[in-house]
């Protein structure tokens, strides 16, 4: 049962604007990360039809190098009332940043918070998504990348839990399918066939090329405001029904000693808390934006959330026919996701989760009322947010 | 099982000889055109080669796994230093392309430490490692084994933590075969397998390290027993743990092609 506090939070905040920059091949952005961050906020303000000077809060995650106060200063906002950066590297903080912004506006600490993430290789280097997380206990033994860590976990999920590799393939194929209707997507015009997926070069087994997200230069932002203000902004609001972030038990920063090793990190209590707080369950979810740094942990997330059967039966849900907007029961990554649209640490998934409610998705799900955002699987921190067409369901 | 025909071997020998000429002439475009188009960058980055190259000769042509044919090439540099490279050619659009290339003998990556070495909390582990001993953090008060290293015991909150020796023996908990050379130091040292190993004698904590033998021909399985040994590196005064599949002889020559489908 949801507590009074959770019920008060339910639908107390909403997203009223989204903004994205172009997605550049890594290292090729003509703009700095700070410029991209500001550009994304400006576009979100345009979408909401509000002056950018009215943005009074900033939230980001994962060591974003563009501090909120500096973004505000560059934008020349009237006043900054609130800002935060979510602890924990990796894309696990993406939904947590949205939740933090919602909490801030719901409690009157700010009126219009920009949640953003901006990356350029020139400013942030390669692999900015794992900054500070792979020390010598990894690198002395050949482990340099999140790909290898996620490969270890995926191997055990396949070999021991019996999850079929086809479930991973379905994540990749669904993303690429949807990206073909998204001209912004890096893989627009490059459909992925089952054969190309299966013949691709190995990265780190059991992950091949198309199991791995790329890195792009780019930025995106959304504007989070209190629900009672939504009429001041243009367009349909996407209400935030609730959200969770967290780690554990025995999960975070454990050097591959996490207790539920083949889980994505969304433990049972956290998932139950999300559904309780939101007043919806897995069967109510109309569309999912699933953070797929790599396809294996993405499948693990779906299992954690009860959206997909564990073990060999996972493919009953995780098959491409079921995951595409054209006739699928649970459309997934409808703008292409990290794999096929482009990777700016998952922030584009927030935009798309909102668009499924607000409008503007390249692959709109008819009458979508509940849109789930799942952040950063297998990261030290994981998080999720539920967006909805109405403040309570 | 399919094996290459005499005609296949003749065709690939001609391809390899042409490839060697392109290499010697420094014709990059022709060299790249001999690789499968979706992985020429991965293949080039995965090799350790003399620069510049003064001579390349084909030293062997033989059937490989499945439809493939393997060739051995010897690269020579200006200092006379030679590198042997095994190329695996596969049929592609009416001709042959290189799907995989390996330096021989196979070598595993050297340990890489970040600038500044290791954090102080890990010192007990690394000092012992350099002396050829595996030590894992253990709470002096409640005797709980702790991994990765913590600053206090998460079970009893004691601040008295130490590093206790543990037999380097365990069972594979998870593993991955890395093919992509993520770091420049991995050139000539891919693929390699990292095994995450559960130590029954240390409360089941899991310790990751490279797995021997070198991986082209071996596929480990979760639950396989392994034991550890300590290999010198750097100036020879330091050592690093490597896991070894128990009961399998150290086959480190990498001469045989594996069945790993281009890994």
What pLDDT, on the 0 to 100 scale, is given for residue B114? 85
Which residues, listed in sequence order, are joined to residue A290 by a DSSP beta bridge? A374
Q: Is B17 on the interface with A (CB under 8 A)?
A: no
Q: What is the pLDDT of residues A338-386, one digit of tens each?
A: 999 999 999 999 999 999 999 999 999 999 999 999 998 988 899 999 9
Q: What mean pLDDT, rounded, does chain B reach?
A: 91
Residue of A nearest to B173 (CA): A156
Q: Is residue B131 classed exposed, middle or buried when 0-12, 13-18 and 19+ CB atoms within 10 A define those classes?
A: exposed
Element (H, E) at A276: helix A268-278
Say what the pLDDT of residue B193 is. Answer: 96
pLDDT for the residue B263: 47
3-class DSSP state for residue A43?
helix
At residue B249, does pLDDT exceed 60?
Answer: no
Rounded Cα distance, B70 and B13, in Å: 9
Query: Residue B206: which of A140, A160, A257 has the nearest Cβ?
Result: A257
- Plot region of B236 (φ>0 → left; ψ -120 to 50 → alpha; else → beta): left
Contact A367, A75 (CB under 8 A): no
Please report which confidence band the pLDDT of residue B262 belongs to, taking 50, 70 and 90 as the band edges.
Answer: very low
Please enumerate residues of A whose Cβ is less than 8 A from a Cβ of B.
Answer: 135-145, 147-148, 151-153, 155-156, 159-160, 200-207, 209, 253-257, 261
Q: How far apart are the first and last CA of chain A?
A: 15
Q: Is the dihedral of CA B247, B252, B257, B263 positive or negative?
A: positive
Query: Is B179 an 8 Å CB contact of chain A?
Result: yes
B203 has a chain A CB within 8 A of its CB:
no
Query: What per-residue confidence (pLDDT) applies to B248?
Result: 59
* Confidence check: pLDDT of A336 > 50: yes
Whether residue B176 and residue A137 make contact (CB cut-off 8 A), yes or no, is: no
Q: Give the torsion sign (CA, B184, B190, B196, B201).
A: negative
| pLDDT over threshold 70, residue B252 | no
**Of A270, A302, A299, A319, nearest in space to A372 by CA:** A302
Pick the more confident residue, A272 or B218.
A272
Cβ <8 Å between B125 and A201: no
Those residues with Cβ within 8 angstroms of residue B120's Cβ, 6 or more apart along the chain or in another chain: none
**How confident is the model over A259-303, as pLDDT tens digits?**
899 999 999 999 999 999 999 999 999 999 999 999 999 999 999
Q: Which chain B residues have a beta carbon less than 8 Å from that of A200?
A: 38
Going by pLDDT thresholds of 50, 70 and 90, the confidence category of residue A132 is low
**A29-53 pLDDT tens trace:** 999 999 999 999 999 999 999 999 9
Q: Mean of the pLDDT values across residues A80-89?
A: 92
Is the preceding omega at residue A249 within 30 degrees of 0, hence cis? yes
Q: CA of B223: which chain A residue's CA is closest?
A: A160
Please, are residues A298 and A171 in contact by the beta-carbon 8 Å criterion?
Answer: yes
A242 three-class SS: strand
Q: Which CATH architecture has domain B6-104?
A: Roll (3.10)
Three-state DSSP class for residue B263: coil
Residue A213: closest CA among A383, A45, A326, A348: A348
Nearest-angstrom CA–CA distance, A242 and A329: 23
Q: Which residue has the tokens 């230069």?
A: A217
pLDDT at position B259 is 40
Residue B136, strand partner residues:
B164
Give the helix ranges, DSSP H, for B76-222.
Answer: 123-130
User: Averaged over B197-212, what is the pLDDT?
Assistant: 97
Average pLDDT estimate for B125-132: 97
The whole-number pLDDT of residue B168 equals 97
Q: Say which range, A90-99, A124-133, B32-41, has the weakest mean pLDDT.
A: A124-133
Rounded CA-CA distance A251/B98 in Å is 43
Comparing CB atoms, the residue among A142, A253, A256 nearest residue B178 is A142
In B, residues 132-171, which contact A (CB 8 Å cutoff)? Answer: 147-149
User: Tokens in use for B108?
Assistant: 């595993």
DSSP code at position A317:
T
- Indicate the pLDDT class of residue A316, thresholds 50, 70 and 90: very high
- The tens digit of pLDDT for each residue in A211-249 reads 999 899 999 999 999 999 999 999 999 999 999 998 877
Q: Which residues is B162 bridged to in the sheet?
A: B138
Residue of A253, A247, A245, A223 lying closest to A235 (CA atoms): A223
Extents of the domains making up chain B? 6-104, 120-245
Q: How do the residues of chain B divide into helix, strand and coil, expressed in percent and rounded to 5?
A: 20, 35, 45
Considering only CB atoms, which chain B residues are within 8 Å of A155?
Answer: 174-176, 222
C-alpha of A276 from chain center: 21
Let me know how many helices (H) and strands (E) chain A has, helices first: 14, 12
In angstroms, the separation between the Cα of residue B194 and the nearest Cα of chain A is 7
B4-37: burial string, b at 16+ Cβ within 10 Å, e else: beeebbebbbebbbebbebbeeeeeeebeebbbe
| CA neighbor of A180 nearest in space, from A47, A324, A50, A51 | A324
SS3 A303: helix
Cβ neighbours of residue B139 closer than 8 Å, sequence gap 6 or more: B146, B153, B155, B156, B158, B160, B161
Q: Which residue has the tokens 């629900």?
A: A227
* Better-scored residue on pLDDT, A91 or A30: A30
| Residue A333 CA neighbour count, 13 Å, CB half | 34
A4-126+217-240: CATH, from 3.40.47.10, 3.40.47.40, 3.30.70.1230, 3.40.190.10: 3.40.47.10
> CB contact, 8 Å: B130 with chain A?
no
| Length, in residues, of chain A | 393
Task: Tell me the domain boundaries of chain A.
Answer: 4-126+217-240, 144-208+241-386
Strand partners, B161: B139
Q: What tokens appear for A224 in the block? A: 């989070």
* Best mutation target, A135, A140, A198, to test chain B (most B CBs within 10 A): A140
Instruction: Say which residue the tokens 């010897």 belong to.
Output: B74
Residue in this structure with the two tokens 């649970």, named with its chain if needed: A330
Q: Across the interface, which of A141, A142, A256 has its CB nearest the CB of B206? A: A256
Distance CA A370, CA A367 (A): 9
B194 touches chain A (CB under 8 A): yes
**Residue of B38, B112, B186 with shortest CB distance to A140:** B112
A134 confidence band (pLDDT: 50, 70, 90):
confident
* Band of residue B256 on the pLDDT scale cut at 50, 70, 90: very low
Q: What is the mean pLDDT of chain A?
A: 95
B42 to chain A: which residues are within 8 Å by CB? 201
The partner residue sitting opposite B113, judged by closest CB among A139, A204, A255, is A139
Q: What is the distance between the alpha carbons of residues B139 and A136, in angstroms, rounded to a whole number?
A: 22
Distance from CA of B138 to the nearest CA of A (A): 15
CB hemisphere CA count around A384 (13 angstroms): 30
Chain segment B155-194, per-residue pLDDT in tens: 999 999 999 999 999 999 999 999 999 999 999 999 999 9
> Which residue from A139, A201, A205 is facing B176, i.e. has the nearest CB?
A205
Please check the confidence at residue B217 and state whether its pLDDT lies above 80: no
Structure tokens belonging to residue A148 = 């290898």
Nearest C-alpha in B relative to A209: B180
Closest by Cβ to A152, choosing from B113, B176, B241:
B176
On the question of pLDDT at B258 being above 50, the answer is no
Extract the tokens encoding A213.
């997200």
Q: What is the pLDDT of residue A250?
A: 77
Residue A169 DSSP SS3 = helix
Q: How high is the pLDDT of residue B260? A: 47
State whether A141 and B210 contact (CB < 8 Å).
yes
Q: Output the six-digit token pair for A182.
A: 């998204």
What is the distance between the alpha carbons of residues B116 and B51, in angstroms, rounded to a whole number? 31
- Reading the block at residue A39, the tokens are 């550009």
Phi, psi of A338 (to 5 degrees): -60, -35
**Same fold yes or no, A4-126+217-240 and A144-208+241-386:** yes
Q: Is the pLDDT of residue B261 over 70?
A: no
Distance from CA of A342 to the nearest CA of B (A): 19
Res A121: pLDDT:
94
Domain A144-208+241-386 listed as CATH 3.20.20.70: no
To the nearest whole angstrom, how far is the Cα of A115 from the nearest Cα of chain B? 31
Contact with chain A for residue B122, Cβ under 8 A: yes
How confident is the model over B48-97, as pLDDT tens digits?
998 888 899 999 999 999 999 999 999 999 888 899 999 999 999 999 99
Q: What is the pLDDT of residue B81?
A: 86
């Amino acid at each position: 049962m949801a507590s009074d506090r959770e019920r008060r939070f339910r639908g107390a905040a909403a997203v009223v604007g989204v903004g994205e920059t172009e997605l550049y091949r890594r290292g090729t952005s003509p703009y700095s990360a700070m410029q991209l961050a500001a550009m994304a906020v400006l576009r979100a303000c345009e979408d909401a039809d509000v002056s950018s000077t009215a943005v009074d809060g900033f939230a980001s995650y994962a060591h974003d190098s563009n501090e909120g106060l500096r973004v505000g200063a560059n934008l020349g906002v009237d006043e900054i009332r609130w800002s935060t950066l979510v602890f924990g590297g990796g894309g696990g903080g993406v939904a947590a940043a949205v939740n933090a912004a919602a909490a801030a506006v719901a409690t009157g600490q700010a009126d219009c918070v920009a949640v953003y993430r901006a990356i350029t290789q020139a400013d942030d280097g390669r692999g900015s998504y794992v900054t500070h997380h792979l020390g010598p206990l990894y690198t002395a033994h050949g482990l340099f990348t999140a790909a290898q860590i996620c490969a270890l976990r995926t191997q055990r999920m396949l070999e021991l839990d019996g999850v079929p590799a086809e479930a991973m393939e379905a994540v990749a194929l669904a993303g690429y399918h949807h990206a073909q209707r998204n001209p912004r997507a890096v893989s627009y015009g490059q459909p992925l066939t089952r054969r190309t997926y299966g013949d691709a070069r190995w990265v780190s087994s059991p992950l091949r090329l198309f199991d791995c997200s790329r890195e792009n230069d780019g930025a995106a932002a959304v504007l989070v405001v209190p629900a009672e203000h939504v009429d001041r902004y243009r367009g349909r609001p996407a209400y935030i029904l609730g959200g969770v972030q967290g780690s554990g038990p025995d999960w975070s920063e454990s050097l591959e000693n996490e207790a539920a090793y083949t889980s994505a990190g969304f433990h049972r209590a956290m998932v139950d808390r999300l559904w309780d707080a939101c007043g919806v369950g897995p069967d109510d979810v109309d569309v999912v934006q699933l953070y797929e740094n790599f396809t294996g942990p993405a499948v693990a997330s779906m299992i954690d959330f009860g959206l997909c059967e564990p073990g060999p039966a996972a493919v009953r849900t995780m098959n491409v026919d079921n995951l595409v907007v054209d006739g699928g029961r649970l459309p997934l990554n409808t703008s292409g996701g990290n794999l096929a649209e482009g990777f700016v640490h998952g922030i584009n998934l927030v935009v798309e989760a909102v668009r499924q409610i607000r409008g503007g998705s390249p692959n709109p799900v008819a009458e979508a009322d509940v849109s789930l955002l799942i952040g950063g699987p297998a990261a030290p921190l994981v998080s999720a947010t539920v967006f909805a067409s109405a403040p309570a369901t | 099982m399919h094996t290459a025909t005499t005609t296949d071997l003749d065709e690939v020998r001609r391809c390899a000889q042409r490839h060697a000429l392109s290499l010697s002439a420094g014709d990059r475009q022709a060299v790249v055109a001999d690789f499968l188009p979706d992985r020429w960058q991965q293949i080039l980055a995965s090799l350790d080669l003399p620069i510049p190259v003064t001579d390349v000769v084909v030293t062997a042509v033989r059937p490989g796994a499945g439809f493939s044919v393997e060739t051995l090439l010897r690269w020579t540099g200006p200092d006379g230093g030679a590198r042997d490279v095994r190329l695996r050619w596969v049929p592609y659009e009416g001709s042959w392309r290189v799907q995989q290339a390996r330096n021989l003998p196979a070598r595993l990556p050297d340990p890489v430490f970040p600038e500044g070495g290791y954090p102080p909390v890990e010192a007990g582990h690394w000092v012992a490692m350099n002396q050829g001993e595996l030590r894992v953090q253990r709470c002096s008060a409640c005797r709980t084994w702790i991994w990765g290293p913590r600053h206090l015991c998460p079970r009893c909150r004691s601040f008295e933590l130490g590093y206790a020796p543990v037999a380097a023996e365990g069972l594979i908990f998870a593993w991955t075969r890395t093919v992509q050379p993520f770091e420049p130091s991995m050139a000539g040292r891919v693929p390699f397998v990292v095994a995450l190993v559960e130590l029954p004698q240390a409360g089941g904590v899991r310790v990751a390290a490279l797995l021997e033998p070198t991986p082209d021909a071996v596929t480990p399985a979760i639950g396989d027993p392994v034991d550890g040994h300590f290999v010198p590196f750097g100036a020879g005064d330091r050592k690093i743990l490597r896991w070894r599949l128990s009961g399998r002889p150290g086959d480190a020559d990498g001469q045989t092609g594996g069945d790993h489908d281009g890994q």
